[in-house]
A = this chain, B = another copy of it.
Amino acid sequence: GRAQAVFQTTNATTLAVGGASRSGIEAALASVLERGDRVIVGNYGHFGELLCTLAERHGAVVERVAAEWGTPVDVDALVSRIRAAPPKLVAIVHADTSTGILQPLKEIGQACRDTGALLMVDAVLSLGGCAVEVDGWNVDLAVGGLQKCLGGPPGLALLTASERARQVFTSRPSEVDGAYLDLNALEALWVRRHGLELAAVPMAMLYAAREALELVLEEGLAGRWERHARASRTLRAGLQAMGLELFADDRARVPMITLIRVPSGVDESGVRAQLLAERGIEIMAAFGPLRGQVWRIGTMGTNAALPSVLAVLAALEAVLASRGWDARPGAAVDAALAAESANAADDGGR
């Protein structure tokens, strides 16, 4: 019901994995992959690397189609690779929090469907914050988490599998590595309600998931996506008015996290520590090659709203000013409010 609606799918095999988001990602990969299977991973950030690591851990031979951190994977190049020699599985992140980049998926899904490859998508960051069209894009396995744009607590992964994917894990000749993350067992428990393990399901997390999904559906998916997009536009207008430079090309950016280049001469971790200590606001460091070079500000769930955006802008302006950064006081908030008015006018004109 609720999880299917959020994934935009009619997949019967839509279930919860009792663990962090990555337990769901590992369940998907471990359950369809066997030793020696070819996997193509579209890799444009930290969580693409994780897909490679996990696929290799479960015996697959991984071919990377990589993009530099800050751009999505070249869809034409990836599609050509898939069509030239279809792998068993293509795995890719939909929205990678390490780079703030959104990956277009539709053509990749079509190529997979045409060639018989399965498509597995890490939608942990994107689910609930922008469209994740599992059925519309021919995604065979998708995984989400509660704690990003669904606005719930961490500790439960949501997973959906197409009938094609289900055929693969139910009919594989070898056993899945490990029992806890075996989709055959998870499907028996959650979908067919078999097994004696119902007493062991994480009830508190299930209630949290039900409530989070209910709130998402009450708001409506389209409204929620637009709210995330507006919050990002508003935040970015304020940051630029402060004289800060955003990371990556605007057209490729996700609508739930914003990456900012740390100006030269500014103490990256010092600013974060001061924001947390003096203002109670946590912004995030970067991963891997971007470490020390960018800050990351999330606008997810309840924080994808004007009050949170204005609070972080005012706080960041004050902290930067205390460190000698030269920007007109109030410029960020003014620009954000102007952008919010323009957003509202856009909405009115529809």
- Contacts from A to B (Cβ < 8 Å): 18-23, 26, 30, 46, 53-54, 57-58, 145, 147, 153-156, 175, 177-181, 196-197, 199-205, 208, 287
Contact = CB atoms under 8 A, between A and B. Distances in A.
B181 A180 contact: yes
Given A155-B155, A155-B202, A205-B155, A23 B30 contact: no
A18 B181 CA distance: 12
A20 B18 contact: yes
Contacts of A147: 199-200
A26 to B, nearest CB: 5
Contacts of A46: 196
B21 A196 contact: no
B155 A18 contact: yes
A178 B178 contact: yes
A21 B147 CA distance: 22
Given A57-B175, A178-B178, 16 more contacts: A18-B23, A19-B23, A19-B180, A19-B202, A20-B180, A20-B197, A22-B180, A22-B197, A22-B200, A26-B180, A46-B196, A154-B200, A155-B201, A155-B202, A180-B181, A204-B205
Given A57-B175, A179-B26, A180-B181, A202 B200 contact: no
A203 B53 contact: no
Contacts of A175: 57
B57 A200 contact: no
A87 to B, nearest CB: 21
B205 A53 contact: no
